[in-house]
A and B are shown apart, each in its own frame.
Chain A
Amino acid sequence: MHPNRSVETPGVPLVEMRNISKSFGPNRVLSSVSLTLAPGSVHALMGENGAGKSTLMKILAGVHHYDDGEIECGGQAERIQSPKHAQELGISTVFQELSLLPNLTIAENMFLGREPIALFGTLDRKRMYEETKAALEELDLKLSPGLLVSELSIAERQFVEIAHGIKARADVFILDEPTAALNAADVEVLNRQIARLKAAGKAVVYISHRMDEIFNVCDTVTVLKDGRHVASEALEGITESDLIGLMVGRDIKDLFPQRGANFEDVLLSVQDLKLQADSPPVSFQLKTGEIVGLAGLEGQGQQDIVRSLVGVFKPDSGHILVSGGARALPLPAREGIRDMQRLGLAFVPEDRKEEGLYLGLSVAHNVGISLHSQRPGLAWAKRYKQQVTDAVTSMSVKASSKDTSVGNLSGGNQQKVLLGRYLAAGMKVLVIEEPTRGVDIGAKSEIYTLLRQFADQGGAVLVLSRETIELIGMSDRIMVCHDQAIIAEMQAAEATEHAILDAALSTSSEANERAAVA
């Protein structure tokens, strides 16, 4: 089942995806998207969160099946059945989510699904060990292949994942945000490997949020927006702002509401929060009317900081003050969220399908539950008709009725229902992770406006987002995390993507040099 090895003849694409469409339930995530991967090229796939990049790549990797369209590998039409099938076709993937298995060793993860076999069908562990060691050394990594993945740091895991992907015998390499947790020096190592693959006539798909990387590494770009194909062209001659323009599709300034002006009383105050016993203390405040963004590379502690505020993450120590109520950290895991809700602080988790919503239950239940949960279990349940109606209409949730199950709504409407739950409960402080993940552009704009309205009416918002553009646009103030500490703070109006990235990369001299050049 290997594709024709006509790699040397230029012009014959290694992979051609034509008019691919895909829906998840009622949500159409890809409509008629095409992508051509030529040998010896590094192809940037660009688009905002939820534009369909990952879905397109998961289709190519055999994880999802497409509804419509066709895929050709090396000139032959193929229906990719499974990840295994994709591997056999010479497609190797490094996924965005860390998908390594924590209970296996590095070597076992590296060879999982294609283990070498020795005598009598036993695993050739020696070969696995040696080849893994060599592969890690090529990436300047000195890890023993016998270590369990659960013992590695996030950056190390990411490197192992990269090693797993690029060491596969494949012609097409998909790298979905491979550098999210890496610092500048590590990125250099990766770039060398990508150059090697390119020289060997392979095709690489590169997904990243960092513009400078795209321009350093890639030669071609395809832009997706809301699941549609916007453009495919050579990167030469394109500027960064052109690219952003293509991704967003309109001037981004129009997307965001006016920033706040009057910040008065302190609503939330976090003092000396230490994530681990040896990490530096973190302190910050949120005032009424203020939206504060939390930026940083993947796994630098920003998510742990946010989750510490409701007891989902267990930090070492600290104090939290919410509208007059003081609590010592860590909060109790079972009661933390309820306690904070009583004080008026609500936490909106990132993964709305797994952690946020009851997909099988009605809009009314999803909104009303936070009102119910503030009352004793044996009390008669109130119907909260008015509150639910208010929430649904004020947020312009498009649902056929309040009894529709939330699973049938689009991503944007689901996110609005989730926000509506906490707005209906009369919260004062919202702590939000990724407020617009998997949401189309129109709904994004609405969500920004809603959050601004909430702040203007005397609330405060702490928001965590991987999209720097979004953070700059919607926040009043931005704090940047590095290594479990807040190492920089800036006014959003004056912040730039570069400044934030440089701060996030922190003290790396290379980053400073690059910043100086820029």
Chain B
Amino acid sequence: MKAVFAHLTGQNSRQGLWILPLIAGIVGFAWLAVSTDQFATPQNAKNLLAQAMPLIIVAIGQMMVVLLGGLDLSVGAVISFTTAILALDAPAAITIPAVFIAAIAIGFINGTTVTRLNVNPIIATLAMQMIIMGLTRLMRPVAGGEVPEVVKQLVSGAVFGVPFTVFWGLLVCLLAWKMLYGSRFGLHIFAIGGGIASGQSDAAHTFGIADKRTTLLAYIGCSCFAALAGIFLAGRIVSGDPNIGPPFTLDSVTAVAIGGTQLSGGVGSLHGTIIGALVLALLSNGMNLANVSAFVQTAIKGAVLLAVVAFQSRKKIGL
């Protein structure tokens, strides 16, 4: 019984404390459903899902890097950059591959500077964030342009009355599940992160794991997930917008942290991250329905993040 309890609370578990945010989410959901009429409507459910989806996608990518004890502060910039590329006056057959080539290149630079050039991940991705934002503003100083019809359809279309968003969710979750739990890559991520968190950063390497290559791939994966989120957002706003991405950087970290993933690495779960993103989306949705101003929403999200990281005490002081 004690062991079961320990598992549920995230002690002695690799999944982290995800049960608490789940309960919080359910309680919040129930409360909103009872207290406001607008919440439990099909339209709002659709909105909620569309709001949560890009965050879920970015957060999954962010989680892979966080599990390695890293952090990717360039995901927001990648999202903006993606919308700017898609809003170029070019066919989707060119721009969509271009988006992924760019994402892979960015992830490759992030991963290489971190693993080969010994740069702290926060500094490396912070610098990348500035560079990508600069490029984005060169291409599109203010919101505008129009994304190809295909991209719009990908997001707003539906088959048999089921919105495409649902398929996006299924596809992304399946992909992430395969990467994290259904492959050696995923196990190696947990192994490397576990070594880093317990202070023996070369433990995984000693087991014969290609730790640098795995880390590099995780950064590339993170950028690609951000690009995917960017495509989704571009389809929704049907234009390019340099300002759409940056809030996602901190939101994704918040979602990951809420979901029980330890920022020191090695402990966390896919379902926890999805729960974390949903809780955050629910919070925004609830505040929107209650007409809370956008500024206060930002501040409240900051306070939530502060509370969550204060809850995660680590062994070492610092970044």
What separation, in Å, do the CA atoms of A97 and B193 have in the docked complex?
Answer: 18
Question: Which of the segments B54-62, B204-212, B223-231 contacts the partner chain?
Answer: B204-212
A150 at interface (Cβ–Cβ under 8 A)? yes
| CB-contacts of B155-213 with A (<8 A) | 178, 182-184, 187, 190-191, 193-195, 197-198, 200, 202-210
Interface 1/0 per residue, A103-124 and B, CB below 8 Å: 1100010001111010011110
B245 at interface (Cβ–Cβ under 8 A)? no
B301 at interface (Cβ–Cβ under 8 A)? no
Known contacts A112-B187, A115-B184, A123-B182: does B208 contact A101 (CB below 8 Å)? no
| CB-contacts of A323-351 with B (<8 A) | none
Q: Which single member of A83, A95, A101, A122 contacts B194 (CB below 8 Å)? A: A101
B209 pairs with A112, CB closer than 8 A: yes
Enumerate chain B residues within 8 angstroms of A112, measured Cβ to Cβ.
187, 191, 204, 207-209
What separation, in Å, do the CA atoms of A156 and B272 have in the docked complex?
Answer: 30
A113 pairs with B208, CB closer than 8 A: yes
B298 at interface (Cβ–Cβ under 8 A)? no
Q: Which residue of B lies closest to A116 (CB)?
A: B184
Q: Which residue of A lies closest to B186 (CB)?
A: A123
Q: Tell which of B13, B193, B197, B206 has the most Cβ of chain A within 10 Å.
A: B206
Enumerate chain A residues within 8 angstroms of B14, measured Cβ to Cβ.
103-104, 148
A510 at interface (Cβ–Cβ under 8 A)? no
What separation, in Å, do the CA atoms of A87 and B210 have in the docked complex?
Answer: 13
Q: How many residues in B have their beta carbons less than 8 Å from beta carbons of A?
A: 27
Enumerate chain B residues within 8 angstroms of A108, measured Cβ to Cβ.
187, 191
Instruction: With both chains docked as a complex, state the minimum distance between the C-beta of A149 and any C-beta of chain B, in angstroms.
Output: 9
A122 pairs with B183, CB closer than 8 A: yes
A99 pairs with B206, CB closer than 8 A: yes
Instruction: With both chains docked as a complex, state the minimum distance between the C-beta of A453 and any C-beta of chain B, in angstroms.
Output: 35
Enumerate chain B residues within 8 angstroms of A114, measured Cβ to Cβ.
208
Interface 1/0 per residue, A70-102 and B, CB below 8 Å: 000000000000111011000000010101111
Q: Which single member of A87, A95, A117 contacts B208 (CB below 8 Å)? A: A87
A151 at interface (Cβ–Cβ under 8 A)? yes
| CB-contacts of A447-471 with B (<8 A) | none
Enumerate chain A residues within 8 angstroms of B276, measured Cβ to Cβ.
none
A103 pairs with B182, CB closer than 8 A: no
Enumerate chain A residues within 8 angstroms of B178, measured Cβ to Cβ.
122
B111 at interface (Cβ–Cβ under 8 A)? no
Q: Tell which of A61, A95, A108 has the most Cβ of chain B within 10 Å.
A: A108
Enumerate chain B residues within 8 angstroms of A148, measured Cβ to Cβ.
12-14
| CB-contacts of B111-142 with A (<8 A) | none
A63 at interface (Cβ–Cβ under 8 A)? yes
What separation, in Å, do the CA atoms of A18 and B14 have in the docked complex?
Answer: 44
Known contacts A83-B207, A99-B200, A112-B191: does B267 contact A122 (CB below 8 Å)? no
B266 at interface (Cβ–Cβ under 8 A)? yes
A99 pairs with B203, CB closer than 8 A: yes
Q: Which single member of A63, A83, A87, A120 contacts B182 (CB below 8 Å)? A: A120
What separation, in Å, do the CA atoms of A63 and B178 have in the docked complex?
Answer: 31
Enumerate chain B residues within 8 angstroms of A117, measured Cβ to Cβ.
184
Q: Which single member of B12, B13, B183, B198 contacts A101 (CB below 8 Å)? A: B198
Instruction: With both chains docked as a complex, state the minimum distance between the C-beta of A202 and any C-beta of chain B, in angstroms.
Output: 19
Known contacts A103-B267, A113-B207: does B195 contact A122 (CB below 8 Å)? no
30 A-B pairs (CB sep. < 8 Å): A83-B205, A83-B206, A83-B208, A84-B208, A84-B209, A86-B208, A95-B206, A99-B203, A99-B206, A99-B207, A100-B203, A101-B190, A101-B266, A102-B194, A103-B14, A103-B198, A104-B190, A112-B204, A112-B207, A112-B208, A112-B209, A113-B208, A114-B208, A115-B184, A115-B187, A117-B184, A121-B183, A122-B183, A123-B182, A150-B12
List 8 A-B pairs, minimum CB-CB distance, nearest first: A84-B208, A113-B208, A103-B194, A122-B182, A101-B194, A113-B207, A112-B207, A103-B266
Query: What would 9 more interface pairs be, CB under 8 Å, given A83-B205, A102-B194, A117-B184?
Result: A82-B205, A99-B200, A99-B206, A101-B207, A103-B193, A103-B194, A104-B14, A123-B182, A123-B184
